[in-house]
Amino acid sequence: MTTRGMSRPHGIGGTQTALLRYLRQRGAASRVEIAEVCGVTPAAVSLLTRDLLTRGLVIEGPRRKGGRGAPHIDLELQKSAGYALGINATRYSILLTLLDFGGTAIADHLLRGPFDAFADVLTAIDSGARALVAAQGLGRDALIGAGMAMPTRFRQETLPLDLAEEVKSWAGSDLSNQLGQVLGCPVLIENDANAAAIGELTLGNSADHANFAYLYLSEGIGSGIIINRTLYRGNLGNAGEIGALRGRTLSRPSFEDLANWFAARAANVPPGRDAEAWTSYLADHPDLFEAWLQRAGPELARLAFALTAVLAPSAIYVGGTLPQIVRRRLADWLDFERSNPFDDARVMQPAILLPEVVATDAVACGAAAMILDRAGSLA
Amino acid sequence: MTTRGMSRPHGIGGTQTALLRYLRQRGAASRVEIAEVCGVTPAAVSLLTRDLLTRGLVIEGPRRKGGRGAPHIDLELQKSAGYALGINATRYSILLTLLDFGGTAIADHLLRGPFDAFADVLTAIDSGARALVAAQGLGRDALIGAGMAMPTRFRQETLPLDLAEEVKSWAGSDLSNQLGQVLGCPVLIENDANAAAIGELTLGNSADHANFAYLYLSEGIGSGIIINRTLYRGNLGNAGEIGALRGRTLSRPSFEDLANWFAARAANVPPGRDAEAWTSYLADHPDLFEAWLQRAGPELARLAFALTAVLAPSAIYVGGTLPQIVRRRLADWLDFERSNPFDDARVMQPAILLPEVVATDAVACGAAAMILDRAGSLA
DNA sequence: ATTATTTAATTAAGTAGATTACTTAAATAA
DNA sequence: TTATTTAAGTAATCTACTTAATTAAATAAT
């Protein structure tokens, strides 16, 4: 209630953040075009970009002729202006992704666990990050920050965390500070679904959607909520916990549930959560796959309907570790007119989309995107 | 996407709005205290209040001695600085409320319908408002604006409206403009649940809660959602439609349902929706009342739980036309630990509160509060 | 080929709403 | 009486824009 500066609600430089997001999504744009989408005058963009140019975050491209009038000058992000490390950490594995300043994933690195103590996590990330950065011929100072996503929600605004079952053993540490010490750069920690949502906001094609929800279908089912182009966390960071709407004992439209369901009914089920292995496995068992969809689809529809009734988002992204083919099929149920999950009740149908961010790991990308999103002020 | 001025997201003068809200809720406060709660420096409040003092919106009270140091000077709102008209309109009746600049309801006036055409609404409001203002010895120029609440949601950002069943016959008019012509002041139109939520935000005791939901239990069940001390409307104004989560055919924890339920089981049921009549009637039929609560309580708990899972608000207000005693009893079920609506699933328990705004009609008050909330810039 | 038109971008001056650093004023405590 | 504490105001500055005018670079019309 008592932070100063209500005049800067988008963080420092809301327009700058919007400008950088737009350039990441479009690749290049003129000052006039940026002014248009950011809702400011060309004069403002002129001043803003002069600063960004001198700081080397943005470069001018060629003039683009065509049509009447003066040709515009393309602005682009200087991709080598800085790099963000994204970390998707569970107890069993840690995936590191390196994004350049343009938001492109240029390398990643998988660390296999288990990581029972947070000390193990720290050393693993430290050496993994060193290797990742060195392999690109970069110095450590090239890292402008790191974002770490974990399957957990924050119970306090900062730390400590209320950790999910699988990472409970890490509790009690001041995770962000410790990791920051090790990496020598600022570190942000976020829930995995939230990180994926931020990734879609910053790197994806969400320009048309100021308010959207990102369903994260993985071991369980969670969601990240974006309101007003900003992550909405709710009380102590607990917004979007839609998995709770199926109680403790009911089945869920999750990867875990899919695996268990097949394990009980078929042979040679892929052992882990490898998307490719599952995709071909499901192609070989179309009838069972359909049967599972017939059960999980309506489950997901009810959760998404509840979310829509409360939030009225303009879009819902169907993301998560579930293979794309599964998510695409599940998405069909989110046409509420057809699936009718609540006995003819009506809500505003949101656009149902699959994420644009399809890197190795959307969560790690999103975690890194949190850093890029505030890079204008950090760097 | 293209409105200029991202730098003023709270409307013009977010701090001014916060200042006025605080004075309405507290009655009087020093500049230093205001600076504290508004998150700005005392110097800023000094500048702001000088402006408000010269414009006659605020007056200085006495110095308040006590303790060391210089005694502070109480600031108060000039209650006669302007008046806002609140309108709660349904097809069957229209309630007008007049609020002074301090947010106090100083008079109200009930117009009985039915109002089949919007032309009838206009003439009724016109004469009713004239009478109401004249009875207070005020000129028409004393009205700084009017807010009208209706049981409907907006399908477009402005107009026309997608009207609820009972006011469908009013459709097709440019309601806001027409009413503005008649009354000679700016008019805002809002859904009834949203208006009540805004009333609680502006006039109630919601200072501790930046994010809350206002359950509106009336003929149906709706809700208004406040995020970041601002009404959240969602896509085309459809956020908070939690009634949809009980389908078309299921019973609801609503006033209509209560009335129907008793009508099917007992004699001499009060004919209308008079709160006092119902309160004494329910006191005379405790067993039936308990039986209804046993059914409606869990229903409401499931809706509120869904809302909480998605939004994680820090408070839920249980408001609406249902008599206070009914809402108080229903509120007991919103302790999710006890009522356990989703099979041991856990969410962040929000504070469960009854509205502070208990005027004749919280909706009309809230509608007027929409005007007061932006009065700093209008007046 | 010249001139007009169109459009992009920059510059200059101004504004709103805050800040910081300081002063002035008014009370109580020692 | 003097020191301390606290409230409030003042002056200069800052940020993030605005508006209005200017400069520059292209195409279209004559």
Q: What are the pLDDT digits (tens) for A263-296? A: 999 999 999 899 999 999 999 999 999 999 999 9
Please tell me the predicted confidence (pLDDT) of residue A317: 98
Rounded to an integer, the average pLDDT of B72-92 is 94
Q: Collapsing DSSP states into helix, strand and coil, what is residue A54?
A: helix
Kindly list the domain boundaries of chain A, sorted by start residue.
Answer: 14-77, 81-198+361-378, 209-353
- The architecture (CATH level 2) of B14-77 comes to Orthogonal Bundle (1.10)
More confident residue, B272 or A65: B272
Residue B176 DSSP SS3: helix
Q: Give the bridge partners for A107, in sequence order.
A: A98
pLDDT-derived band at A165, boundaries 50, 70, 90: low
Q: What is the pLDDT of residues B2-28, one digit of tens each?
A: 333 333 333 346 899 999 999 999 999
Residue in B2, B239, B344 nearest the CB of A310: B239
Write phi, then psi, for B59 (nearest 5 degrees).
-130, 155
Q: Could you give the CA distance from residue B216 to residue B197 in angstroms, rounded to a whole number?
A: 9
pLDDT value of position B164: 64
Which range, of A129-143, B54-68, B197-211, B214-228, averages the lowest pLDDT? B54-68
CB contacts of A343 in chain B (<8 Å) are 247-250
B144-CA/D18-C1' distance, Å: 28
Give the residue with greater pLDDT, A6 vs A58. Answer: A58
Nearest residue to nucleotide C7, by CA–C1' distance, is A69
The answer to whether the CB of A214 falls within 8 A of the CB of A319 is yes
| Residues of B in Cβ contact (< 8 Å) with A311 | 234, 239, 310-311
In the sheet that A351-353 helps form, which strands lie side by side, from edge to edge?
Answer: A230-232, A221-227, A212-217, A315-320, A351-353
Sign, CA torsion B192/B220/B164/B278: negative
Cα separation, A86 vs A189, whole angstroms: 10
Residue B44 touches chain A, beta carbons under 8 Å: no
CATH number among 3.40.50.300, 3.90.180.10, 3.30.420.40, 1.10.150.120, domain B208-353: 3.30.420.40
Nearest residue to A87 (alpha-carbon basis) of A57, A61, A113, A109:
A109
Report residue A162's pLDDT band, with 50, 70 and 90 as the boundaries.
low
Nucleotide nearest to B16 (CA to C1'): C17
Q: What's the pLDDT score for residue A360?
A: 76
Could you tell me if A185 and A144 are in contact, meaning their C-beta atoms sit under 8 angstroms apart?
yes
pLDDT at position A332 over 70: yes
| Confidence tier at B377 by pLDDT (50, 70, 90) | low
Kindly state whether B157 is in contact with chain A, defined as any CB-CB distance less than 8 angstroms.
no
Q: Tell me the pLDDT band of A116, cut-offs 50, 70 and 90.
A: confident
Nucleotides of C under 7 A from a protein CB: 5-13, 16-22, 25-29
Cα B206 from Cα B226, distance rounded (Å): 10
Q: Note the residue count of chain A.
A: 379
What per-residue confidence (pLDDT) applies to A168?
Answer: 65
Q: What is the DSSP letter of A353?
A: E
The pLDDT value given to residue A230: 95
With bands split at pLDDT 50, 70 and 90, how would you rate the model's confidence at A4? very low
Residue B232 forms contact with A (CB below 8 Å):
yes
Query: Hey, what CATH topology would domain A209-353 get?
Result: Nucleotidyltransferase; domain 5 (3.30.420)
Which of B118 and B277 is assigned the larger pLDDT?
Answer: B277
Strands B143-150 and B187-191, by their bridges, are: parallel
Residue A338 has what pLDDT?
94
* Token pair belonging to B182: 């008649």
Distance, in Å, from the CA atom of A329 to the CA atom of A282, rounded to the nearest integer, reads 12
Residue A368 contacts residue A374 (beta carbons within 8 Å):
no
Please state which architecture CATH assigns to domain B81-198+361-378.
2-Layer Sandwich (3.30)
pLDDT value of residue B168: 65
Per the DSSP assignment, residues forming a β-bridge with A316 are A213, A352
Distance in angstroms: CA B108, C1' D9: 42
- Number of other CB atoms surrounding residue A192 within 10 Å: 30
**Is 80 exceeded by the pLDDT of residue A128?**
yes
Contact criterion met (CB below 8 Å) for B315 and B206: yes
The rounded distance, in Å, linking the Cα atoms of B223 and B256 is 16
DSSP β-bridge partners for residue B352: B316
Give the distance, in angstroms, between residue B36 CA and nucleotide C17 C1': 17
Amino acid A153: pLDDT: 76
pLDDT at residue A5, rounded to an integer: 33
Helix H or strand E segment including A280: helix A275-284
> In this structure, what token pair is assigned to residue B207?
């200072």
CB-closest option in B225, B312, B342 to A235: B312
When pLDDT is cut at 50, 70 and 90, the band that residue A379 belongs to is low
pLDDT of residue B174 exceeding 60, the answer is yes
- Percent residues over pLDDT 90 in chain B: 74
Instruction: Mutate one of A245, A302, A347, A349 to test the B interface: name it (highest B CB count within 10 A).
Output: A245
Q: Return the higher-pLDDT residue of B209 and B162.
A: B209
pLDDT band at B195 (very low <50, low <70, confident <90, very high): very high
Task: Give yes or no for B204 touching A (CB within 8 A).
Answer: no
Rounded distance between C-alpha atoms, residue A35 and residue B299, angstroms:
49
B76/B53 Cα distance (integer angstroms): 10
Does A114 sit behind a cis peptide bond, omega within 30 degrees of 0 on the bond before it?
yes
Residues 66-85 of A near strand C (Cβ < 7 Å)? 67-73
pLDDT digits (tens, 9 = 90+) for A217-251: 999 999 999 999 999 999 988 999 999 999 888 99
CA pair distance A98, A76, nearest whole angstrom: 20
Q: What is the pLDDT of residues A196-217, one digit of tens each?
A: 999 999 999 888 899 999 999 9
Q: Which residue is nearest to nucleotide C6 (CA to C1')?
A: A69
More confident residue, A207 or B110: B110
Look up the pTM and report it.
Answer: 0.92
Mean predicted lDDT score pLDDT of chain A: 89
Tell me the CA distances in angstroms from A294 to A287, A326, A339, B271, one per residue in order. Answer: 11, 12, 11, 47
Sheet architecture: strand order including B212-217: B230-232, B221-227, B212-217, B315-320, B351-353
Same fold, B81-198+361-378 and B208-353: yes
Of B203, B211, B205, which is closest to residue B230 (Cα–Cα)?
B211
Percentage of residues in chain A with pLDDT exceeding 90?
A: 75
Q: Is pLDDT larger for residue A133 or for residue B205?
A: A133
Residue in chain B nearest A40 by alpha carbon: B4
Q: Catalogue the E-assigned strands of chain B.
A: 28-29, 58-64, 72-77, 83-89, 93-99, 105-112, 143-150, 187-191, 212-217, 221-227, 230-232, 315-320, 351-353
Measured CA A63 to C1' D21 distance, in angstroms: 24
Residue A11 confidence (pLDDT) above 50:
no
**In whole numbers, what is the pLDDT of chain B averaged over residues?**
89
Q: Contact, A191 vs A236, CB < 8 A?
A: no
- Asked if B10 has any chain A CB less than 8 Å from its own CB, the reply is yes
Torsion, Cα of A23, A24, A25, A27 (10° steps): 60
Q: Which residues pair with B63 in a beta bridge?
A: B73
Return the beta strands (E) in chain A as ranges: 28-29, 58-64, 72-77, 83-89, 93-99, 105-112, 143-150, 187-191, 212-217, 221-227, 230-232, 315-320, 351-353
A347 in contact with chain B, both atoms CB, cutoff 8 A: yes
Give strand letter and number of the nucleotide nearest B32 (CA to C1'): D7
